[in-house]
Amino acid sequence: MCGVIVAPNFSIAVDMESQCAIVSESPEGCPNLSSADCKVLLQQCADYYDQQSAKLAQDLTKTSAQKNTLSSQISNLKNKISGLQAQINQSNVMVKDLNIQISDTQFSINKTSDQIENARNQIINILRSVYEEDQKPSFVILLEGDLSDFFSNLAYLDNLNTSVSTLLSSTQNLKVYLEGQQTKMGDNVDQLQKTIALQILQKQENEQNKTQQDQYLKMTEAQYQQQLKDKQAVDQASAKIKAMLFQVVGVSKAPTFGEALEVAKSAANIVGIRPAFLLAIISQESAIGRNVGQCYLTDPVTGAGKKISTGAVVNRIMKPTRDVQPFIQITTALGRDPYATPVSCWIPAYVGGVPTGWGGAMGPAQFIASTWNLFIERLTSLLGKMPDPWAIKDSFTASAMYLSDLGASKQTASAENTAAGRYYGAAGAYNSGVMRRATCIQTFIDNGTMSASCESLIF
């Protein structure tokens, strides 16, 4: 990307997006700018990218909530569609069952009608027989047989007529009842068919809504992915800017407080911890690089060493099974003499009369060799070189990474207190000392001043 970098001017608005893009994509960093102006611009860009990242994080949260809402609505519509389909299926089964019942009822009605017609024919025949009997002359009746038989026959026909008439009336009532039931079932079928039509319409509306919500979800997902992509790009640019800012600081040996604070800000910003807390740790560990160790290792087998100032033998300088070989490898790789490189002395401590603990901590951040090795790959990737635990920027960055891993990135008093204890290996006076120093340094960062008690603590 081509462009001209403008020297920072606090009295006019600067197009930070284009300026920072030029810097982050330029292999030369800040061409045509002085070191001081470059440092100011890099800090402005770091702040700009932090703001952009925070805004995109908010947008991602909002878009994610919209995705969740749409997914929930789509799930509800699916449930409604499934429920309506189940109701439609159930109603169709009921219609089918009612149609079968209507068909069966119609069969019964037809059968009953046949029975009625048959009863009517029987009554006609009976009445005809009664009429014929009644029309016979007396002499014929006497010629055919006993008079009592004649009256018995009339009585039988009369009783038969009564029975058939009763049956006819009952059958007619049954037909009326069956026709009534058939009408009711027909009405129920009509009502069910109307309900099914309404359910089908509701299902179609829900399916249309679901299709629309699916489209919205796809659009929202695309928006979310774009925002995620934008945030990743911003974070990558931010990391480049912070790495460049870190290199611009350019401090060697024991730094001044101001130099150390600038390095702490750069290193802490990379991993998201408070610069004041990081510098408080360094202050507690090595008086900000002024005391990186008073002993040398002399015996790699036992881990014994000597005092640099007096040459007196000191035991437990370095744990042989854990740190001696890593220490030799680290110093050798850096071109240092492992037996003439300062490390911390053992602080005498005993448990039940048995000595405990070891010295051997390296550099301003006071890492033991085995722990330093855990960060070599990450440091090499960031710094672009073999990290040196005695170099200010390297040690500050390693300490910042370690503290972040220990939970200090939450930036709460509780999290920092816990991280400080785990950094040292034990809670207690160390924690409270770190937190007091952090308060002093934060006050200086916020107000530019420091009390006399803080000055005596830090310096």
- 272-297 tens-digit pLDDT: 999 999 999 999 999 898 888 889 99
- pLDDT tens track, the chain, 459 positions: 444 444 444 333 357 888 888 888 877 677 677 777 887 888 788 788 878 888 888 888 898 888 888 888 888 888 888 888 888 888 888 878 878 887 777 787 777 777 667 766 666 665 566 556 555 555 454 455 554 555 555 565 566 667 666 766 776 776 677 778 778 877 887 887 888 888 888 888 888 888 888 888 888 889 889 988 988 888 888 777 766 765 655 545 678 898 899 999 999 999 999 999 999 999 999 989 888 888 999 999 999 999 988 899 999 999 999 999 999 999 999 999 999 999 999 988 888 889 999 999 999 999 999 999 999 999 999 888 999 999 999 999 999 999 999 999 999 999 999 999 999 887 678 899 999 999 999 999 999 888 989 988 887
Please give the distance of CA 389 from its chain centroid, rounded to a whole number. Answer: 38
Residue ranges matching CATH 1.10.287 in the chain: 50-236
- Which distant-in-sequence residues (6+ apart) come within 8 Å of 84 by Cβ? 199, 202, 203, 206
Q: Do β-strands 295-297 and 313-314 pair in parallel, antiparallel, or remain unpaired?
A: unpaired
Enter the tokens of residue 258.
Answer: 């101001």
Q: Which fold has domain 50-236?
A: Helix Hairpins (1.10.287)
CA distance 298 to 317: 9
pLDDT in tens, 156-172: 556 666 766 676 677 67
Task: Centre a 10 Å sphere on the Cβ of residue 164 and count the other Cβ atoms it contains.
Answer: 20
Q: What angle do CA 291, 409, 228 make, to 5 degrees?
A: 135
State which H helix or E strand residue 295 sits in.
Answer: strand 295-297
Query: How many residues belong to the chain?
Result: 459
DSSP state of 355: E
Tell me the torsion sign for CA atoms 433, 436, 442, 447.
negative
Helix axes 257-271, 147-249, angle to 10 degrees: 160
Cβ–Cβ under 8 Å, residues 272 and 296 = no
Global confidence as pTM: 0.54
CA distances from 65 to 74, 210, 288 (A): 14, 18, 46
